[in-house]
Amino acid sequence: MTVKDKIGRRRYIAFEIISDKNISRNDAVGMIRKEFKPCFNSVKPWLTRYRNNKGLMRCAHTGKNEAIRILNSVKQIGKTDAEIKTTGTSGTIKAAVRKYLTRS
């Protein structure tokens, strides 16, 4: 049995929050808890990195499509109107940061 069999494979979804205001990390975490509550155990979402309305969310590889669907359906974070646009998916943090978060 390998480590991957025990903890499962992971995917990292890069996203950008489009809003007039700067959304704090706490508000982003609150949004993830609220939106993923019905499927939390199957998707296993976790906010890995977040800065300047751009973030990286870890999830289970089996719940990747559902996680993307939920993120793209968000229209409000806290009391602020906001839209989330997913920019890409990767199997490692390093590749996700390089491809999707370091752009100017």
Burial classification of residue 55, based on how many CB atoms lie within 10 Å of its CB (0-12 exposed, 13-18 middle, 19 or more buried): buried
Q: What is the pTM of this model?
A: 0.91
pLDDT of residue 1: 62
Q: Is 1 a domain residue? A: no
Kindly state the percentage of the chain with pLDDT values over 90: 87
Residues 52 and 87: their CA atoms lie apart, in Å, by 15
Residues 56 and 61: their CA atoms lie apart, in Å, by 14
Contact in structure between 59 and 43 (CB atoms under 8 Å): yes
Residue 17 and residue 84 in contact, taking contact as beta carbons nearer than 8 Å: yes
In a domain? residue 19: yes
Q: What CATH number did the domain enclosing 23 receive?
A: 3.30.70.3250
Range of the domain at 94: 8-101
The pLDDT tens digits for 47-98 are 999 999 999 999 999 999 999 999 999 999 989 999 999 999 999 999 999 9
Provide the pLDDT confidence category of residue 104 given band limits of 50, 70 and 90: low
Within a domain: 2: no
| Total domain count, the chain | 1
